[in-house]
A and B are shown apart, each in its own frame.
Chain A
């Protein structure tokens, strides 16, 4: 098993800031790790904790949630609401053993292409170090086998 582990990471981002920041990383031709898949939403306010669970169910080894910095939300307050939910949901995941290293949160503005690229690299590296999310994968595997009753 010398092959390096390529983690699968799903990012949920708002279209006005982080998605635009990712576009800027592209137009600036910054290079970063290809492990992240982006799901675009209008606002961080739209990012439901259920999405995180579904990404994990789909085999994601890591999840990133990102949007506009406080005060910059296109919808004025969506990210303030989101921040509260994240705070609570993060504690819940942590307590149930879904490590906070695997579910990360960030603010990336439309001007922060560099921050986006750097984060893609660091998050990929961090999760590569953690390795596959074996414990969750075992649960997923179980669902693939026929039910016992």
Chain B
């Protein structure tokens, strides 16, 4: 038998001025199942709460309705009071008769009548409430960071420095990501490698960080606090334990003319290689696709050259399984393939290069040792044209969005060029200059005012070769006339795009992505570092185009989210989660598809002999966020949502 206590608050005069609380209490007292119906000046104050507790104890109440202010104000307060009196806190509901009634209505009779309806419907609901227990989820205190660019390194170090274990997975042979390729970085022009390499070394040597390079995450199961992750360690053919990184093998390898990915094709590497001189770990891998032995079955020169026998051609891919509590995804970006712009001649004319290639030319440790030289004839260009938005903000061939960093790095390139080639001249074609950031506008101004770079507002329509020059035709929209420039080199400010496998990867680990393949945050404004899946966080350019400071900030923010999660052994969650009636589920998987959080799994129901009887939907309470979208979809009415069950809502409506 329901014994509901109803507590009607005057809220000083906030409620009682428009709602006749005495009359309301008397009306509700008549309602079936109501054992206590009283009014009082301030139920949220201590004496008020005490009187509720007393009434619960004395009358053995089975449920409580507090008719007062919005549940968004004091639901937690009153639920706590109930719990203190021994009543399950989820047996308490709030009837909002202040914000939704006394404050907004003028007619006392009508307001009182409305308050009675609101309260009655809450009484009907609470009669059907269930005693819920907060969901406790154990937490494995070990983080996985995927991607070893600057964002991943930062996240890993922050977590490890706070004393928690980290596994850092990078798919290339070395840590570093794109930042390792950069020459100097805007807006301070500090050398990229000088600031990054010490962090790479720190990450590799950190006692709390387990570094797995040349490795890829192949599957993620489980849920927040309890992920099971499988990682593939690609065969390096070099034993990581014994290799000393002397590099003898590299010098002996007969394949020396392989285009270097790290140098964006401007430099060359061997088939056994480290991506760059400061690689971490500084131990080579054999590139199976270009190795003579793997192609022809003969060679193994490297193996013979190795003094300590670290090379093993029989090595196989290995798989490691990890128990993980939280994941930071920091898989970074790629630059768009500029070949889509036929009119710029990228890929056709060797001296049309991308911004990233320019970084390699300008880098002191790059293929030209920091000299700006043309790829075609190795001569120093005296006139460079930079084309901004070569891909960005171009819905027709490129991408719709702004890549955010190209205005800045183009200014940087022009500046670096003017520092290196004093008699050089550079022109920048641009649409707008977007230099929002600390010290950024000052930086671009300096490029224009101190380094004399000429900015031309307009698009380039064609680039074509003439003698040893590249002719660039564009318009200067500010002067309203066409311009033709004879350049020695053309640099395209290529768009930042998601990794080519971003969508596949997102599906593997179970997070959402946008139309381009950038990973979606849980909420653009309020939860910008959480992914849509609980326990998986985002850092850096995998979420959207960013510069280094933004990537690092987001990485630190993700790390703090992980640390907050790891601050307790178990995780407590509101028990407002869905559950399924397996007997009636038809296994149509509509709910599986509809759930925004991938919280619903397909479960096999087996008979005693292990034979499959049927497959049904099963909600993982660790992942469910309690939106109820699945419940509404389910045609067989098999799903229900705790706290807002079908029975409760039905009763609430019928109580109105």
Contacts and interface: CB of A to CB of B under 8 A. Distances in A.
Contacts, number: 124
Interface in A1-17: 6, 10, 15
B600 to A, nearest CB: 13
Interface stretch (B161-169, B276-284, B537-545, B648-656): B648-656
Contact of A31 (B99, B100, B105, B532): B105
Contacts of A81: 594, 629, 632-633
B104 A117 contact: yes
B31 interface: no
Interface string A103-141: 000000000000001000000000000000000000000
Interface stretch (B113-121, B345-353, B549-557, B580-588): B113-121
Nearest to A116: B104
Given A26-B98, A29-B103, A46 B628 contact: yes
A99 interface: no
Contacts of A47: 632
B629 A10 contact: no
A45 B628 contact: yes
A45 to B, nearest CB: 3
A37 B121 contact: yes
A46 B627 contact: yes
A58 B104 CA distance: 24
Contacts of A117: 104
Given A37-B117, A37-B118, A45-B627, A85 B632 contact: yes
Contacts of A58: 653-654, 656
B104 A43 contact: no
A34 interface: yes
Interface in B637-656: 641, 643-644, 646, 649-650, 652-654, 656
Contact of A78 (B121, B629, B643): B629
A76 B596 contact: yes
Interface in B600-647: 625-629, 631-633, 641, 643-644, 646
A29 B106 CA distance: 10
Interface string B550-584: 00000000000000000000000000100000000
Interface residues of A, number: 41
B318 interface: no
A54 B650 CA distance: 7
A53 B629 CA distance: 18
B575 to A, nearest CB: 13
A134 to B, nearest CB: 20
A25 interface: yes
Contacts of B646: 48
A55 interface: yes
A76 B652 CA distance: 27
Interface string A34-49: 1001111111011111
B126 interface: no
Contact of A76 (B121, B523, B653): B523
A119 B106 CA distance: 17
Interface string A50-71: 0100110010000000000001
Contacts of B631: 46, 48
B110 interface: yes
Interface in B394-419: none
B522 interface: yes
Given A37-B117, A45-B632, A75-B627, A23 B654 contact: no
Contacts of B121: 37, 39
Nearest to A14: B627
Contacts of A78: 596, 627-629
B107 interface: yes
A78 B599 CA distance: 14
Most chain A beta-carbon neighbours within 10 Å: one of B98, B103, B641: B103
B25 interface: no
A42 B576 contact: yes
B615 to A, nearest CB: 23
Nearest to B594: A81
B104 A51 contact: no
Contacts of B652: 39
Interface in A80-109: 81-82, 85
Given A27-B99, A31-B106, A78-B628, 12 more contacts: A19-B70, A19-B72, A22-B99, A25-B104, A29-B104, A34-B101, A37-B118, A55-B656, A58-B656, A77-B629, A78-B629, A82-B632
7 contacts: A26-B104, A29-B103, A32-B105, A38-B118, A41-B649, A45-B594, A46-B632
Closest 8 CB pairs of A and B: A46-B628, A26-B99, A45-B629, A75-B627, A43-B627, A26-B103, A77-B596, A23-B99
